[in-house]
Amino acid sequence: MNGIEVDNLGPLKVVHFYFPKTDFRAILVVDNAALGPSIGGVRVSPSVSTEEVMRLARTMTLKNSVTDLHHGGGKAGIIADPKSPHIERYFRLFARQIRDFYDYIPGPDMGSNEESMAWIYDEIGRAVGLPEEMGGLPLDKLGATGFGLAECAEVACPQAGLELRGARVAIQGFGSVGKAAAKFLSDKGATIVAASDTKGTIYSSDGLDVKKLIETKDASQSVIHYKEGTVYKPEDIFSLECDILVPAASPDVINESNVDNIKARLILQGANIPATKSAEEALHKKGVVSVPDFIANAGGVIMAAMEYRRKIEREAFDAIATKIKTNTKLVLERSIKERLLPRQVALEIAQERVLRAMKYRESL
> How far apart are the C-alpha atoms of 362 and 218, rounded to whole Å?
49
> How far apart are the C-alpha atoms of 120 and 126, rounded to whole Å?
7
Query: Of 170-178, 186-194, 306-314, 346-354, which part binds ligand NAD (CB under 6 A)?
Result: 170-178
Q: Does 79 bind ligand NAD (CB under 6 A)?
A: no
> How far apart are the C-alpha atoms of 57 and 363, rounded to whole Å?
19
Q: Report in angstroms how near the CB of residue 249 gets to ligand NAD at its nearest.
A: 4
Q: Identify whether 75 is a catalytic site residue.
A: yes
Q: Does 250 bind ligand NAD (CB under 6 A)?
A: yes
Q: What is the DSSP string of 144-201?
A: HHHHHHHHHHHHHHHHTT--STT-EEEEE--SHHHHHHHHHHHHTT-EEEEEEETTEE
> How far apart are the C-alpha atoms of 282 and 257, rounded to whole Å?
12
Q: What would you measure as the largest C-alpha separation in the chain, in angstroms?
A: 60
Q: What is the DSSP string of 110-149?
A: TT--HHHHHHHHHHHS--SS--GGGT---HHHHTHHHHHH
* Binder of ligand NAD out of 38, 65, 95, 109 (CB under 6 A): 109
* Binder of ligand NAD out of 32, 159, 191, 272 (CB under 6 A): 272
Which residue, among 153, 169, 180, has the nearest Cα to 207 in the 3D structure?
169
Query: Judged by CB, which is closer to ligand NAD: 183, or 337?
Result: 183
Query: Of 73-81, 114-122, 192-200, 354-362, which part binds ligand NAD (CB under 6 A)?
Result: 192-200
Residues 279-338 that bind ligand NAD (CB under 6 A): 297, 300
Residues in the chain: 364
* Binder of ligand NAD out of 61, 65, 67, 176 (CB under 6 A): 176
Q: Report in angstroms how near the CB of residue 316 gets to ligand NAD at its nearest.
A: 12
Q: Report in angstroms how near the CB of residue 342 gets to ligand NAD at its nearest.
A: 17
Choose the catalytic residue: 63, 75, 183, 323: 75
Q: Report in angstroms how near the CB of residue 86 gets to ligand NAD at its nearest.
A: 19
Through-space distance between the first and last CA atoms of the chain, rounded to whole angstroms: 18
Q: Report in angstroms how near the CB of residue 81 gets to ligand NAD at its nearest.
A: 13
* Binder of ligand NAD out of 31, 197, 243, 280 (CB under 6 A): 197
Query: Judged by CB, which is closer to ligand NAD: 263, or 334?
Result: 263
* Binder of ligand NAD out of 10, 40, 74, 270 (CB under 6 A): 270
* Binder of ligand NAD out of 10, 72, 136, 173 (CB under 6 A): 173
Q: Does 49 bind ligand NAD (CB under 6 A)?
A: no
Which residue, among 237, 246, 238, has the nearest Cα to 157 in the 3D structure?
246
> How far apart are the C-alpha atoms of 225 and 241, rounded to whole Å?
21
Q: Does 196 bind ligand NAD (CB under 6 A)?
A: yes
Residues 139-158 that bind ligand NAD (CB under 6 A): 139-140, 144-145
Our CA angle for 318, 138, 80, nearest 5°, is 135
Q: Does 271 bind ligand NAD (CB under 6 A)?
A: yes
User: H-type helices in the chain, by residue range?
Assistant: 50-66, 87-98, 114-124, 139-142, 144-159, 176-187, 210-220, 277-286, 293-296, 299-308, 313-338, 342-358
* Binder of ligand NAD out of 39, 66, 248, 305 (CB under 6 A): 248
> How far apart are the C-alpha atoms of 323 and 201, rounded to whole Å?
32
Total residues binding ligand NAD (CB under 6 A)? 25
Q: Report in angstroms how near the CB of residue 311 gets to ligand NAD at its nearest.
A: 17
H or E segment to which residue 291 belongs: strand 289-291
Active-site positions read 75
State the residues that interact with ligand NAD by CB under 6 A. 109-110, 139-140, 144-145, 172-178, 196-198, 234, 248-250, 270-272, 297, 300
